Amino acid sequence: MPTSARIRRILIANRGEIASRVIRTARDLGISTVAVHSDPDADAPYVRAADRSVRLPGVSSAQTYLDGALIISAALASGADAIHPGYGFLSENPGFARAVGDAGLIWIGPTPESIEAMALKVEAKRIAHAASVPLVPGAELPQGLSDADVLLACDAVGYPLLVKASAGGGGKGMKIVGARDELVEALQSARREALSSFGDDTIFVERYLTGARHVEVQVFGDVHGNVVHLFERECSIQRRHQKVIEEAPSPGVTPAVRARLHAAAVSLASAIGYVGAGTVEFMVFGAGDEQEFSFLEMNTRLQVEHPVTEEITGIDLVAWQIAVAQGDALPLAQQDIHSRGHAIEARLYAEDPAHDYLPATGVIHAFGVPERTGLRVDSGIASGSVITPHYDPMLAKVIGHAATREQAAALLADGLARMTLHAPVTNRDSLVAILRSEPFLSGDTTTAFLDQHPAVLDPITCAEDQQRHAIAVAYVIEALDAPADPVPLAWRNVPAAPEFVTLQRRGRPGFLTVLVDRHRDHDRIRLARTTDVPYGGVYAVEADEIFGARARVERAGGDVIAIVEVDGVAARCRVTRYNNEVFVDDGIHSSAWIVEPRFADHSGDALGHGAVTPVPGTITVVAVAAGDTVVEGQLLVVLEAMKMEHRIVANVDGVVERVLVEVGQSVDAHAVVVEFTDEVPSA
């Protein structure tokens, strides 16, 4: 609760990049910090950055970051006098905020009363309606409502509609329902995700609006009754209702609507005596004189995308949060807050946009962003970090700030492209494609952006660059693997037998074999594309010769560089190998490759056929039993990983022989969950 006491030590009741972000400002203010961590996060960068740390025994969010009593005990034991909740987890839990104050600690956030008024989305809509703020059509779905009443309420809202969690945000618990027959399954899934993420399975529905912009206004209040806005952000480019690209100011809001948005946000915050950082979210429709907006919700916390506001205003919002929590007045009045230039933020996720945003886990071998004026990185990872399936897959936020929107987009895209990111699959290439696309640069950014422009989810790599990188890998593999004394098994010494390396571009079908014929004066470089690994028959595979290509390898410090020249144009390709994974960075493009073994591995040939898990996670639903006849596309199992549900369905018609998992069981990636018999289901 706001107080006149000075804060000397803050416990951050969160993890990842937001914990690192709070630690950075606290250090600038001379305030010491305490991190809390689950067992998987024990060696995370934010834990190492804090002055003190306290273990929260367990793995799941429910055992650790959602256990308010455990966190308050950690604060008291560590000598902290304040708690910063970050975003997500307990940040919008009024009971936790009240318990922090009852324990004699300072809560760096709005009052419990403000959280209660706004954090539950249904109640927030009532307050907004009373304040004459226009609303998106919707309906409450309290527990105990009959199926018939649920259907009637949803029919009245109209389809398509959006199921939402009342207690949370960030895309958790949100489901699009296109028609009535999809409703029951969507409601059940939304309740499960909401309960897992927020400890509250209350949900509601509202009309799903397509072709609109998602625009939000940053507000700030203090205990002296002052409330200001810090302009708006646009967050329309989303996947699974979770923001991917955010920017300030909005490129598509008219001046008249912009002024009304700011005024409505300040009015709503003032109506509840709001204290601290908050965001009022709206949907904006239409253009020109016909443009209108509707209230969505208010988030009573710091937003993930707050850095773009910081960049255009020059204001440290975390520092303001700390000042207000101590009882200070806002440092600036409304007339003293100004916007400078344009800022764009891209969220870097460990996921594959080309394959339904499948989350990825594994080791971050190397991570680094080029230092550039106007380029900022808020990161929760470092080289050596491990991505686990237990939490949200966001790794970092990269922000570009420049004088114009076009310059900010170019700066950010270039920074992402030149980033060293030797890691499991991420959305980095997709982010670059979005930022460089003509629809984005023209400001045509609505919530339908990714549906309307699916090519940005799986951008096509220039064929010449792919060839260049494959050649670089082959030459470096030869340099690293070739023995000092010639051995006839791997690298041959006669011109008739070319040296070869077979590669698979990570995430792409097919294989690429690079064949190099060594001659006294030159090398002959050929590339062969196949759908299967050409074990034993590599010399018989038809290959295209890359005319005018040559390469050489050199070492520069700890790096291995392949200088690859194609048609007189040379590029320096930094090649880094981690066992059978190889990463190539040439300053403009990056790629990841899997080096295939020279001889086939038959160890898995005897395994039975069945449905497998795409990623590690926890089984939440088992929908079939032994003996069931299933059809292609039928739901078999639901897996929760990184706070999102993944439906594992039958890819053929068949009969279930065995179910190998049960609800609550933790499984690894590629684990068989259901086995099928060879019996063909009768017609």
pLDDT score recorded for residue 606: 38
**Using CA atoms, how far apart are residues 303 and 325, in angstroms rounded to an integer?**
17
**CATH C-level class of 610-676:** mainly beta
Average pLDDT over residues 183-204: 79
Q: What is the pLDDT of residues 55-92, one digit of tens each?
A: 999 998 999 999 999 999 999 999 999 999 999 999 99
Q: What is the pLDDT of residues 401-432, one digit of tens each?
A: 999 999 999 999 999 999 999 999 999 999 99
What contacts 557, CB < 8 A, 6 or more positions away? Answer: none
**Fold type of domain 213-456:** D-amino Acid Aminotransferase; Chain A, domain 1 (3.30.470)
Q: Is 373 exposed, middle or buried (0-12, 13-18, 19+ CB in 10 A)?
A: exposed
Q: What percent of the chain has pLDDT over 90?
A: 59
3-state secondary structure 67-81: CHHHHHHHHHHHCCC
Q: What is the pLDDT of residues 328-345, one digit of tens each?
A: 999 999 999 999 999 999
CB 255 within 8 A of CB 284: no
**Fold type of domain 137-207:** Dna Ligase; domain 1 (3.30.1490)
CB neighbour burial string for 602-613, b if at least 16 within 10 angstroms, e if fewer: eeeeeeeebbeb
- Kindly state the tokens that stand for 645: 């549900």
- As a CATH number, domain 463-595 is 3.30.700
Highest mean pLDDT among 177-181, 572-576, 613-617, 624-628: 572-576
Q: Where are the domains of the chain?
A: 9-108, 137-207, 213-456, 463-595, 610-676
Q: What is the pLDDT of residues 467-502, one digit of tens each?
A: 999 999 999 998 887 655 544 444 555 555 678 899
CB 44 within 8 A of CB 69: no
pLDDT score recorded for residue 110: 96
- As a CATH number, domain 9-108 is 3.40.50.20
Residue 605: pLDDT over 90: no
Q: Say if 9-108 and 213-456 have the same CATH topology.
A: no
CB 192 within 8 A of CB 201: yes
Residue of 480, 509, 515, 513 whose CA lies nearest to 497: 515
Write down how long the chain is.
683
**Bridge partners of residue 656, in order along the sequence:** 676
What contacts 318, CB < 8 A, 6 or more positions away? Answer: 21, 22, 25, 26, 84, 302
Q: What is the pLDDT of residues 274-291, one digit of tens each?
A: 999 999 999 999 888 889
DSSP 618-640: EEEEE---TT-EE-TT-EEEEEE
Residue 17: pLDDT over 80: yes
Rounded (to 5) percent helix, strand, coil in the chain: 25, 30, 40
pLDDT score recorded for residue 678: 66
Q: What is the pLDDT of residues 209-264, one digit of tens each?
A: 778 999 999 999 999 999 999 999 999 999 988 899 999 999 999 999 999 999 99
